[in-house]
Structure 1
Amino acid sequence: MNEIETLYCIGCGAQLQADDQQQAGYIPANTLAKYLKQSATQDLYCQRCFRLRHYNEVSQVPIEDAHFKHLLAKIGHEQALVVYVVDLFNFSGSVIQQLKRYIGNNPVLLVGNKADLIPSSFNRNKLKNWLQHQAKILGLQPLDIELVSAKKLTNIDQLLVKISQLRKNRDVYVVGTTNVGKSTLINAIIRSHSGWQDLITTSNFPGTTLNEIRLPLADGGELIDTPGIVHKNQISQFLSRKELKYIAPQSEIHPRIFQLQAQQTLFLAGLARLDFISGPAGSFVVYVDNNLYVHRTKLQQADEFYQKHLGELLTPPVSAETFPPLQSQTITTKEKSDIVFSGLGWIAVPEQVQVKAYLPQGLQIEVRSSLIN
């Protein structure tokens, strides 16, 4: 491939090339020539980013997961501050396993993004303490924890002050899995200090950033946006771009409370299911996108109901034929717990109950102490 040296897409970081439309960084030759003539190379976007930004069209390009991990592993050989961004709504789906192996002994600032999605009634200090505990489980000892909303620009200035205090003239690497909002966060930082808006391409579709995007800092250092590691345990892999809007909250989650008795079932559209097998009647609280349909029915008729209404009343998915069958996991709680459907949300269930949770085959269900009490 005849690559255009030193020119990169400012939106996704891919090296620009005019030879292969199916590969990352493609830009039509006439578009490239026009930009070069105008000496506006700093504003160059590849065709993929251009169409995503202007027409909301997503095109897949073949990028190996090993490429992402190779870029991440480079951090361990440098002196840097690592800003590790996690998704507060989808924490389990935003965990990078063995992150310590990639980043070495570099210090970590843990950033919980999408704080605007968590119900405002929940105590933020408790949320920080919960994140601290989760970091310890992962073998991390973050220097500090910040809660932000990159979309709403909440606590961005506070985050910048913290980064300035901790970086000590080192480069800053922003890392995370796909769709945690890394690029949105960096855009918020750019907007806060330069007035430029949405320089880096973002979307709800996984893998928008394809390579490192390096932004200069005033003291000669760099702020580096890294490609997101693709998390395999995500329900989004089974959904179309149009269906993703039902599982990607854009505003504060409104808890939906169901007073259930044993032998009742909750369907999260056609994507997941929770059977209340046995235990005292109680409140089951659903935390999913406000637009996702939740249906209650009797356990005795749940199987038949699912087969009859999948792809119609129970949508997404739109197509029952292409959606994988659900597999179940039986869970008995000793305390108030969250049953986490990775990439979809969670259901808070009472203590001393037995439930059966369902997700598509290949995905895992997590049980944790209740996040929101």
Structure 2
Amino acid sequence: MPLLRTPRFFSSPSNPSSPVVPPISLIRGGCYDENLPDLPDLPLCPGCGVHMQDSDPDLPGFFAKPSPKSSAYHASVRRTSLPVDEPQISNFLKSGQFDEEADKERPENGRDSKPLVCARCHSLRHYGRVKNNKAENLLPDFDFDRMVGPKIVSSGGSRSVVLMVVDAADFDGSFPRRIAKLLSASIEENSSAWKEGKPGNVPRVLIVVTKIDLLPGCLSPTGLEYWVRQRAHEGGAGKITGVHLVSSLRGWGVKDLLDHVQHLVGTRGSVWAVGAQNAGKSTLINAMGKCVGGKINLLTEAPVPGTTIGIVRVEGILSGQMKLFDTPGIIHPYQISTRLNAEEQTLLHLKKEMRPRTYRIKAGHSVHIAGLMRLDVEETTTDTIYLTVWASPLLPLHMGKIEGAAGMIERHFGRQLQPPIGEDRVAHLGQWLRKEFRVRGNSWEVSSVDIAAPGLGWFAVGLKGEAVLGAWTYEGVDLVLRNSLIPSRAKIFEVAGFTVSEIVSVADSAIGKSKQKKRSKRDGLSVEDSSDRSKPLRVLPRMFSFGRCSERGKGRNEGFISDEGEQALKILPFGFAQKSDVS
């Protein structure tokens, strides 16, 4: 029986009875033993690889049948020429041209040739989210070692080319260590067999670093490739056939990758795209399809973990009998992003080129990245060191003294420091633990080492001397010490306290309202009176200027005078202004 079946449409009324829904364990297309009896006889969704069914909307793979269209739905429109001498018709319309060929190219059967996808793919493509979480929770766990691994490292059959897809902005979080070790063992074993004249399929491994458009443009491609090879070897990758730096969004390096793949795979080989969730496998394959041109079925891509459900064979990119497969993403439990909900994950998502945020601090101080990671500078042989944060710009930062850092969890986690979003979410992420790092550097000008948290970002440390650093995060998150990926730092340094961000501003506003309600209740004022007298005014820290607030205060530091008469504003904690009567 073939690994994957060609998708068919549910819109045909020839078979009114719906096929039997397969067991949940077999819902992932191609992720099962082909020798099992009663394999599912349902079409595969070309977007995610799930077996489609139209029986139960609360089960994975649900597909709603399209409503039947009449024969006149796509009927040609009768075109009539516009009278040239008609004065009421503008010259713009008179000079326009009708597309007479559009109706001729439309299929005669009244149905578009665009392949149909499951409801989940439709929701991800058009809304960027999964609407039915009940069906999502029923999906069985994806076991790469059992479902995909044996197909790639098989000693017989056609040649295998493995595209190990890694996220440039989260290399240690997205690098598939288990796959790398599996492939290295297979290469060593099959190479020995091949040398002895026995059948031996030696997989060719290409490391494809995606999303390089998120890295700063000052980074050298040669230096980046050397860094990638070094980290890949440390992660378990033995023999690497090549490294490709690509941007699927901008099309950088995709053509060179495609040419290299076609050269390696031979006439009947198989190409497998593997990697962690959200590493960019489906987006990469779609970019390869656009590079080739022609007509292909685009895979579903969205910033949602686990977009691809089953093994999808992609047609139209490789010529001849070459086969290209997209595989489900692997879950790395040591990534901190796997513990966050959908709303929290959006704050970690990078959309633009990363920008550095640098602190110049002394021993005895610490820096928080949201409520997810903290780095303490405990001991140094120098007066100061440079800490540069590389993470999503939506994540708020905080710098303060170590002795006050312990109380940050209770006072600010889930509020000013998000994610986690909400105080009740802090306990769900696990226990807050410390890991010690002893680092050294030989230059003030560049960063020497990184301390990275998979799925979040990293601290780049620049110093000329030695230091003892304490890194704090949740239990199970694998903190990594490595050579610095991006040596440069920001030219303007951050200051103590919270960084300017919308999250901090909204949290401060809520705290200000809560304090005002308590104060009004204590003074015996009603909520209506207190809300009229005191309205929190959102003012971003370090951006409030006394001299520009009003004409009366222009050029003098005498505060802001409102337009309501005899009222003035006094500055409250957290960057707020409160109205108060002037006696």
Whether TM exceeds 0.5 here: the answer is yes
* 1:272-311 equivalences in 2 (<5 Å): 272-279=373-380, 280=382, 281-311=384-414
Corresponding residue number in structure 1 for 2:273? 174
CA distance in 2, matches of 1:175, 1:108: 11
CA distance in 2, matches of 1:274, 1:256: 14
Asked if 1:153 is matched to 2:251, the reply is yes
* 1:89-128 equivalences in 2 (<5 Å): 89-100=169-180, 102-103=182-183, 104=186, 105-128=202-225
Corresponding residue number in structure 1 for 2:461? 349
CA distance in 2, matches of 1:113, 1:364: 22
Corresponding residue number in structure 1 for 2:341? 240
Asked if structure 1 preserves the Cα contact closer than 8 Å seen for 2:364 and 2:378, the reply is: yes
- For residue 262 of structure 2, the aligned residue among 164, 174, 187 is 164
3-state DSSP of counterpart to 2:440: coil
Corresponding residue number in structure 2 for 1:363? 477
CA distance in 2, matches of 1:49, 1:132: 35
Asked if 1:85 is matched to 2:158, the reply is no
CA distance in 1, matches of 2:277, 2:472: 24
Asked if structure 2 preserves the Cα contact closer than 8 Å seen for 1:65 and 1:229, the reply is: no
3-state DSSP of counterpart to 2:257: helix
CA distance in 2, matches of 1:98, 1:235: 18
Q: Percent identity?
A: 30
Asked if 1:5 is matched to 2:41, the reply is yes
Asked if structure 2 preserves the Cα contact closer than 8 Å seen for 1:333 and 1:350, the reply is: no
Equivalent AA in structure 2 for residue 13 of structure 1: G
Corresponding residue number in structure 1 for 2:119? 47
In the TM superposition, what is the alpha-carbon distance from 1:194 to its structure 2 partner?
2.7
- For residue 139 of structure 1, the aligned residue among 237, 244, 254 is 237
**Alpha carbons of 1:298 and 1:196: their partners in 2 closer, same or farther (altered >3 Å)?**
farther
3-state DSSP of counterpart to 2:425: coil
**Alpha carbons of 1:221 and 1:61: their partners in 2 closer, same or farther (altered >3 Å)?**
farther
Equivalent AA in structure 1 for residue 145 of structure 2: K
Task: Identify the structure with the greater strand proportion.
Answer: 1
Structure with the greater relative contact order (CA < 8 A, sep ≥ 6): 1 or 2?
1
- Residue by residue over 1:306-345, the C-alpha shift from the partner in whole angstroms, topping out at 9 and shown as x without a partner, is 3211122111221121223421111111343110011000
In the TM superposition, what is the alpha-carbon distance from 1:197 to its structure 2 partner?
8.7
In the TM superposition, what is the alpha-carbon distance from 1:65 to its structure 2 partner?
3.4
3-state DSSP of counterpart to 1:237: helix
Asked if structure 1 preserves the Cα contact closer than 8 Å seen for 2:363 and 2:379, the reply is: yes
3-state DSSP of counterpart to 1:5: coil
Corresponding residue number in structure 1 for 2:61? 25
Equivalent AA in structure 1 for residue 218 of structure 2: S
The count of aligned residue pairs is 370
- Residue by residue over 1:267-319, the C-alpha shift from the partner in whole angstroms, topping out at 9 and shown as x without a partner, is 11112111111112111111101221111111121122332111221112211
| Structure 1: runs of 5 or more not aligned | none
TM-score, length of structure 2 as denominator length: 0.60
In the TM superposition, what is the alpha-carbon distance from 1:100 to its structure 2 partner?
4.7
Corresponding residue number in structure 1 for 2:367? 266
In the TM superposition, what is the alpha-carbon distance from 1:212 to its structure 2 partner?
1.0
**Alpha carbons of 1:101 and 1:338: their partners in 2 closer, same or farther (altered >3 Å)?**
closer
- Residue by residue over 1:168-206, the C-alpha shift from the partner in whole angstroms, topping out at 9 and shown as x without a partner, is 222211111111000010111112223669821112221
CA distance in 2, matches of 1:83, 1:207: 18
Equivalent AA in structure 1 for residue 152 of structure 2: I
Equivalent AA in structure 2 for residue 98 of structure 1: R
- Over the aligned positions, Cα root-mean-square deviation in angstroms equals 2.3
- Residue by residue over 1:106-133, the C-alpha shift from the partner in whole angstroms, topping out at 9 and shown as x without a partner, is 1111111111111111111111011111
In the TM superposition, what is the alpha-carbon distance from 1:227 to its structure 2 partner?
0.9
Asked if structure 1 preserves the Cα contact closer than 8 Å seen for 2:128 and 2:303, the reply is: no
Larger displacement relative to structure 2 (314-323 or 101-110): 101-110
Corresponding residue number in structure 2 for 1:14? 50
Bigger Rg, structure 1 or 2? 2
CA distance in 1, matches of 2:174, 2:68: 40
3-state DSSP of counterpart to 1:141: coil
3-state DSSP of counterpart to 1:244: helix
Equivalent AA in structure 1 for residue 125 of structure 2: R
Asked if structure 1 preserves the Cα contact closer than 8 Å seen for 2:278 and 2:306, the reply is: yes
Asked if structure 2 preserves the Cα contact closer than 8 Å seen for 1:204 and 1:244, the reply is: no
3-state DSSP of counterpart to 1:242: helix
- Residue by residue over 1:116-169, the C-alpha shift from the partner in whole angstroms, topping out at 9 and shown as x without a partner, is 111111111111011111222213211111100112221111211221222222
